[in-house]
Amino acid sequence: MLRLWGAGLILAAPICFSLSRWMARQQQDKLLAAYIQTLELCAGQILCDLTPLPELAVLLARQGPEALRGFWQTLREGLSQTDYSAESLWRAALAGTSLSAAAREILAPVPQALRSYDTDQIVRELGRIRMELTQYRARMSETFRRDFRLHAGVQVSAALLLLILLF
Amino acid sequence: MEKNLARYEDAARLLPEGLRRLALACSAGEKAAAEEFRLRTGCPLSVLYPEGERFLRGSPPQTVTPADLQAVLDRATSFSVYRCADSIRCGYVTVQGGCRVGLCGTAVLRQGQVATLQELSSVSVRIAKELPGIASGLYPRLFQAGRFAGALFIAPPGGGKTTLLRDLIRYVSDGIEEHAPMRVAVVDERGELAAVCGGTPQFQMGAHTDVLTGVAKAEGIEMVLRAMNPEVIAVDEITAPDDIRAMVLAANCGVSFLATVHGVDLDEIRQRRICRALLETELFHRFVILEGRGSGRRWRVEKC
């Protein structure tokens, strides 16, 4: 019975590890998708209603993608304090998310884009960031799929090998 | 006094931290008398008082940097310059609370027109003033045979025209015991008279006042005439022949006008073509001339 438990654990360990990696990846992907959607919403709001950043933050904290409501809430609170620049508040809010450093880097120029006087230029710039983020998301997905297959395969093989050696 | 102190503090809130600390360190009397903050790159922050500008140097001495000017603009536009692009093109931004931020920098031209201002070099923050009651003695003097005759306000820049006009609008709109309230339409091209923010005027404009903001005066006069059926239309700073044409059109519909022009007195404004054209329309029979600065400001009414 004990042997059976041991064998089960050896097999379960790589499966659990892979599952947790997959879940973390799913969460990251969901977050990236939410940012992509949010950038599109921002561009629409700015182009149609010239919505200023603080109002945008209020709107998105209430009605935006659920995964980012906390982010917009943090930004909204920051913007109501007068002593910080939009860039530093944006960076601080991004730091509070579980986004990868590369994704944060891509999103960092958003406040700079909003500094433009020309809404068409803002929309173009937000579109460029969205495109970059979409490509990054696709790249990450592809890399993860490849790595996941490889790692999962190696781990399960190692576990099976261990089982053969032990039993 | 209390209200003006609060408005000074509202205006100071637009300044970056270091400069704000200097501004808030002034005495209550100085705060109440202050008219503008002036920020010029490389110079200390200065405050405009009725008697002139005074530098706030601080210790260690602090000078204004381009980043400070950008920070003021960021706050004035709620980090969204695109929202105020049209008014920035005209060189100013109206801020919640009624302050007006004037901008100077390098103009970017597109097809011969100013597209925007870049590389700000100086910024002025005009502190909104509201002095309820200053038009109490003036209002009854603007009636002719029981009918409100309107008035043209004449004063040099910073002479208090807008503050007096604003209070008069409130009197006309609310009425007094002897005179019934009237419907007043304010065409507030630069958002200085009513300073509407989020649909709410930041100054007391009276219970029968409709405010149209951000439209050129000529166009705005026609719009309010069609839409709001006003008895009195108030506009600030007549500067273009189109404004006068629209005013004549509205006057033919029985509307009285309250308007302002830059000038010293009637003789002086008669020298200018645009003002002469305005006087020739005979839209105005009462002229309110403002003289002096600060607490020494006085007004007198001339009839024509």
- Residue by residue, DSSP assigns B57-80 as -TTTT--B-HHHHHHHHHHHTTT-
Q: At what angle do helices A2-49 and A119-166 cross, to 10 degrees?
A: 180
Are A112 and A128 a contacting pair, CB within 8 Å? no
- For the segment B55-76, the average pLDDT, to the nearest whole number, is 89
Mean pLDDT of the A118-136 span = 94
Same domain, residue pair B85 and B150: no
Q: What is the CATH number of the domain that holds B234?
A: 3.40.50.300
Select the more confidently predicted residue: B16 or A7.
Answer: B16
Q: What are residue B113's DSSP bridge partners? A: B110
B14 and B102 in a single domain? The answer is yes
Q: A-chain residues within 8 Å CB-CB of B115?
A: 117
Residue B134 lies in a domain: no
- Regarding whether B105 and B239 lie in a shared domain, the answer is no
Phi-psi region of B203 (alpha: psi -120 to 50; beta: other; left: phi over 0): beta
pLDDT digits (tens, 9 = 90+) for B17-43: 889 999 999 998 889 889 899 999 999
In this complex, do A46 and B88 lie within 8 Å of one another by their Cβ atoms?
Answer: no
Contact assignment for A117 to B81 by CB distance below 8 Å: yes
Q: How confident is the model at residue B180 (pLDDT cuts 50, 70, 90)?
A: very high
Number of domains in chain B: 2
How many residues belong to chain A?
167
Give how far Cα B50 sits from Cα of A46, A108, B38, B70, Å: 41, 45, 14, 27
- Report chain A residues whose CB lies below 8 A from the CB of B214: none
CA A21 to chain centre: 14
Cβ within 8 Å, pair B85-A114: no
Which of B96, B126, B156 marks a domain boundary? B126
Please tell me the predicted confidence (pLDDT) of residue A165.
81
Exposure of A89 by Cβ count < 10 A (0-12 exposed, 13-18 middle, 19+ buried)? Answer: buried
Please indicate, yes or no, if residue A102 is contained in any of the structural domains.
yes
Is residue A54 within 8 angstroms of chain B, CB to CB?
yes
User: Does B44 share its domain with B190?
Assistant: no
Reply yes or no on whether the pLDDT at B52 is more than 90: no
Let me know whether B185 and B113 are in one domain. no
Contact (Cβ atoms closer than 8 angstroms) between residue B107 and residue B114: yes
Q: Quick one: pLDDT band at residue B1, thresholds 50, 70, 90? A: low
* Cβ–Cβ gap B74/A86 under 8 Å: yes
Residue B79 to residue A86, Cβ atoms within 8 A? yes
My answer on whether B161 and B230 are in the same domain is: yes
Say which amino acid occupies B272.
R
Interface contact flag, A114 B115, Cβ < 8 Å: no
The answer to whether residues B182 and B299 belong to one domain is: yes
The verdict on A115 touching B (C-beta cutoff 8 Å) is yes
Chain B contact set for A85 (CB, 8 A): 71, 74
Assess whether pLDDT exceeds 70 at residue B205: yes
User: CA B85, CA B79: separation in Å to the nearest integer?
Assistant: 12
What pLDDT score does B60 carry? 81
- Structure tokens given for B251: 């006057």
Is residue A83 packed enough to be buried (19+ CB in 10 Å), middle (13-18) or exposed (0-12)? exposed
Our count of domains for chain A comes to 1
Side-chain half-sphere of B217: how many Cα atoms within 13 Å? 24
Residue A115's pLDDT band (boundaries 50, 70, 90)? confident
Q: Are residues B292 and B211 in the same domain?
A: yes
Look at the block and give the residue holding tokens 């002139």. B52
Chain A residue with the nearest C-alpha to that of B73: A115
In a domain, A38, yes or no: yes
Kindly list the residues from chain B whose CB atom is less than 8 angstroms away from the CB atom of residue A50. Answer: 80, 82-83
Does B150 share its domain with B299?
Answer: yes
Specify the higher pLDDT residue, B274 or B297: B274
- Residue B284 within any structural domain of the chain: yes
Q: Could you give the strand order of the β-sheet that contains B45-49, starting from the edge strand earlier in sequence?
A: B52-56, B45-49, B36-40, B113-126, B100-110, B92-94
- Does residue A83 lie within any of the structural domains? yes
CA–CA dist B82, B68 (Å, integer): 19
Is residue B221 a part of any domain in this protein? yes
Question: Are A111 and B71 in contact (CB < 8 Å)?
Answer: no
Assigned domain for B88 exists: yes
Range of the domain at A50: 28-166
Asked whether residue B228 carries a pLDDT value surpassing 80, the answer given is yes
Is residue A106 in a domain?
yes
The yes-or-no verdict on residue A6 having pLDDT over 80 is no
DSSP code string of B156-217: -TTSSHHHHHHHHHHHHHH--SSS----EEEEETTS-SS-EETTEESS---TTEEEEESS-H
Among A82, A86, A119, select the one facing B82 at the smallest CB separation. A119
Which among B126, B160, B182 is the end of a domain?
B126
pLDDT, one tens digit per residue, over A42-97 is 999 999 988 989 999 999 999 989 989 999 999 999 888 767 788 889 999 999 88
Nearest chain A alpha carbon to B80? A52
Contact across the interface for A117 and B116, Cβ inside 8 Å: yes
Burial of B296 (0-12, 13-18, 19+ CB in 10 A): exposed
The answer to whether residues B221 and B80 belong to one domain is no
CA distance A135 to A137: 5
Locate all alpha helices (DSSP H) within chain B, ordered by sequence: 2-12, 17-24, 28-33, 66-76, 85-89, 161-174, 217-228, 241-251, 266-270, 273-280
A120 in B contact zone (CB under 8 Å): no
Structure tokens, B280: 């020739």
- Which domain CATH number covers B100? 3.30.450
Last residue of a domain, one of B104, B126, B148: B126
Give the Cα separation of B268 and B241 in Å (integer): 18
Contact: B81, A54; criterion CB under 8 Å: no
User: In DSSP terms, which residues pair with B117 in a beta bridge?
Assistant: B107
Q: Look at residue B234 and tell me whether its pLDDT is greater than 70.
A: yes
> A126 at the B interface (CB within 8 A)?
no
- Whole-number pLDDT of residue B289: 93
The answer to whether position B133 is within a domain reads no
Whether B78 and B147 share a structural domain: no
Does any domain span residue A4?
A: no
Mind telling me how many Å the CA of B245 is from chain A's nearest CA? Answer: 32
How far, in Å, CA of B89 to CA of B118, rounded?
A: 10
Range of the domain at B285: 139-303
Residue B117 lies in a domain: yes
Which of residues 187 through 216 in chain B touch A, CB cutoff 8 A?
Answer: none
Q: Is the pLDDT of residue A106 over 90?
A: yes
Q: What is the mean pLDDT of residues B72-76?
A: 90
State whether residue A26 sits within 8 Å of chain B by CB: no
| B169 backbone dihedrals φ, ψ, rounded to 5° | -55, -45
Average pLDDT, chain B: 89
A86, part of any domain:
yes
Segment among A152-161, B33-42, B160-169 with least mean pLDDT: A152-161
Helix pair angle (A53-63, A2-49), 10° resolution: 140
Structure-block tokens of residue B35:
């008219």
B148 and B121: one domain? no
A10 in any annotated domain: no
CA distance B39 to B284: 39
User: Is residue A14 assigned to a domain?
Assistant: no
Q: What is the ipTM of this complex?
A: 0.73
